[in-house]
Amino acid sequence: MYRLTEVDVYDVRFPTSEHSDGSDAMNPDPDYSAAYVVLRTDAPDGHEGHGFCFTIGRGNDVVVAAIRALRPYLAGCPLDAVTSDLGGLHRRLTHDSQLRWLGPEKGVAHMAAGAVVNAAWDLAAKRAGQPLWAYLASLSPEELVALVDFRHLTDALTPQEALGLLRAAEPGRERRAAALRETGYPAYTTSPGWLGYSDEKLVALARRAVADGFTQIKLKVGADLGQDLHRLRLVREAVGPQVRIALDANQRWEREEAVRWMRELAAFDPYWIEEPTSPDDILGHAHVRARQPVPVATGEHAANRIVFKQLLQAEAVDVVQIDATRVAGVNENLAILLLAAKFGVPVCPHAGGVGLCELVQHLAMFDFVAVSGTREGRVIEYVDHLHEHFADPAVVRDGHYRAPTAPGFSARMHDHSLAAHRYPDGPVWRDRPGHDAHPLHPQSGQEGPR
């Protein structure tokens, strides 16, 4: 009997704040980071499970500590018992009666559970010899339902209803998988629209995105209305009326501010407004959606399936944006895909950061093949950053993600990338003395970003 032998965790950070890549109204200086986990086994096939939680710098070490706290659930476990019952693993990790106090089911502890659950899925898919999306799509409706934790969901979705949705999507799985391999899955790009970029860079990147085959781009907004109107006009003129321009306020606004602001920006026909206010504010999103004309998108910071349930019940969203590493991994995202299917709302995953494109493409593709059964009105975010660090990087051509073919969850970072970016002792950081030592208290006149 083979076993999981080790749970290795790495604090990996990229100094992205040096180039304003990823800057938005709430996140002026992110250092894209990963609390990265490797599950090792004593099986002779040599497969490892790789997973991670994406963060934006400070605090990545806290997620590392939270992943380490889960080690007793894995180290020494029989390998087959884990990979043949990933629903059980998911439940054990999220319902440990003591760890649960740290959420419940939200924040650092939940994200850590997600990293570990995803690493276990990477391992299971490798053992099955399939890319994760195809492995998931090979499971029966009954097997898929057994993966979901329906606790606190049943007023919106029962196991029986979930089974019905999955059975209804069973015919045509093979046809859709073939279509996916043939034409890929639609992508949109956020690369042009970061707040820190100049007008020239913004326009040039927007034109380039259209030339590259993207039919949707996204701009960050929310810091200054005049600037937003100016930038949106520039981009609309540059790309013409046919290209969709989505907007992202990154939680910046009060509820009424969002309504006012979007009534003005609506003149340029935005495709959606993303995170107009606090990600916890379900009633606020419903209010914004009801009082201005632009569709509302949210989810990358929604803490768990219970928040998504309410966003759908309150008719607060037009677009559900799942994130691969904020909720508790594949299992919880499966619950959210099923909820969205039940309510008939399209899922357009959040990606970018480091490795999020690699992960979330599998979930959207599985959704197409086995849950919603459609790519209509669906699109996966794409940001052209940091893919070179991955062994099986996401590939986007002509505005479409290509279907991954390598076994696993595409989560593996190159060993040399892990080694170079280990924080604080990897060479990339060793050579930046004092990077993390900038004083954050009032005496310095530099009070930390608001």
Task: Identify which of residues 219 and 316 has a Cβ nearer to a second copy in the complex.
Answer: 316
Cβ 99 vs Cβ 65: under 8 Å: no
Nearest approach in angstroms of CB 300 to a second copy is 10
Q: Does 108 bind a second copy (CB under 8 A)?
A: yes
Task: Identify which of residues 109 and 370 has a Cβ nearer to a second copy in the complex.
Answer: 109
User: By CB under 8 A, which span of 85-93, 195-203, 225-233, 331-339 interacts with a second copy?
Assistant: 85-93
Listed in sequence order, the residues at least 6 apart from 442 whose beta carbon sits closer than 8 Å to its beta carbon are none
Nearest approach in angstroms of CB 58 to a second copy is 4
Nearest approach in angstroms of CB 67 to a second copy is 9
Instruction: Say how far apart CA 196 and CA 349 lie, in whole Å.
Output: 23
Instruction: Judge whether 385 counts as a catalytic residue.
Output: no
Q: Does 29 bind a second copy (CB under 8 A)?
A: yes
Sign (positive/negative) of CA torsion 408, 212, 346, 219?
A: positive
Burial class (CB in 10 A: 0-12, 13-18, 19+), 144: buried
Identified binder of a second copy from the candidate list 44, 101, 344, 445, rule CB under 8 A: 101
Instruction: Say how far apart CA 29 and CA 27 lie, in whole Å.
Output: 6
Residue pointed to by tokens 């099955």? 128
Of 90, 106, 218, 220, which one is the catalytic site residue? 220
Q: Does 118 bind a second copy (CB under 8 A)?
A: no
Residue pointed to by tokens 């991955």? 390
Nearest approach in angstroms of CB 155 to a second copy is 4
Q: Does 141 bind a second copy (CB under 8 A)?
A: no
Instruction: Say how far apart CA 329 and CA 99 lie, in whole Å.
Output: 17
Q: Does 6 bind a second copy (CB under 8 A)?
A: no
Of 106, 350, 400, 421, which one is the catalytic site residue? 350
User: By CB under 8 A, which span of 26-34, 165-173, 266-274, 330-338 interacts with a second copy?
Assistant: 26-34
What's the one-letter identity of residue 15? Answer: P
Q: Does 264 bind a second copy (CB under 8 A)?
A: no
Q: Does 85 bind a second copy (CB under 8 A)?
A: yes
Residue 84, number of CB atoms within 10 A of its CB? 12
Q: Which of residues 201-240 bind a second copy (CB under 8 A)?
A: none
Nearest approach in angstroms of CB 306 to a second copy is 4
Q: Which of residues 401-440 bind a second copy (CB under 8 A)?
A: 436-437, 439-440
Cβ 274 vs Cβ 294: under 8 Å: no
Identified binder of a second copy from the candidate list 2, 65, 142, 175, rule CB under 8 A: 65
Instruction: Judge whether 350 counts as a catalytic residue.
Output: yes
DSSP at 404: P
Q: Which of residues 273-332 bind a second copy (CB under 8 A)?
A: 277-284, 287, 301, 303-304, 306-307, 309-310, 313-314
Identified binder of a second copy from the candidate list 15, 87, 107, 141, rule CB under 8 A: 107
Q: Does 62 bind a second copy (CB under 8 A)?
A: yes
Q: Does 92 bind a second copy (CB under 8 A)?
A: yes
First to last CA, the chain: 53
Q: Does 58 bind a second copy (CB under 8 A)?
A: yes
Residue pointed to by tokens 């691969």? 324
Rounded to 5°, angle at Cα 387 from 399 and 337: 60
Instruction: Say how far apart CA 121 and CA 136 lie, in whole Å.
Output: 9
Residue 52 bridge partners (DSSP): 36
Q: Does 97 bind a second copy (CB under 8 A)?
A: yes
Size of the site for a second copy (CB under 8 A): 84
What's the one-letter identity of residue 239? Answer: V
Identified binder of a second copy from the candidate list 5, 20, 27, 215, rule CB under 8 A: 27
Cβ 329 vs Cβ 136: under 8 Å: no
Q: Does 256 bind a second copy (CB under 8 A)?
A: yes
Instruction: Say how far apart CA 67 and CA 221 lie, in whole Å.
Output: 34
Nearest approach in angstroms of CB 270 to a second copy is 22
Task: Identify which of residues 74 and 232 has a Cβ nearer to a second copy in the complex.
Answer: 74
Please list the alpha-helical segments (H only) found in 156-304: 159-168, 173-183, 199-211, 225-239, 255-265, 282-291
Which residues are marked as active site?
Answer: 220, 350
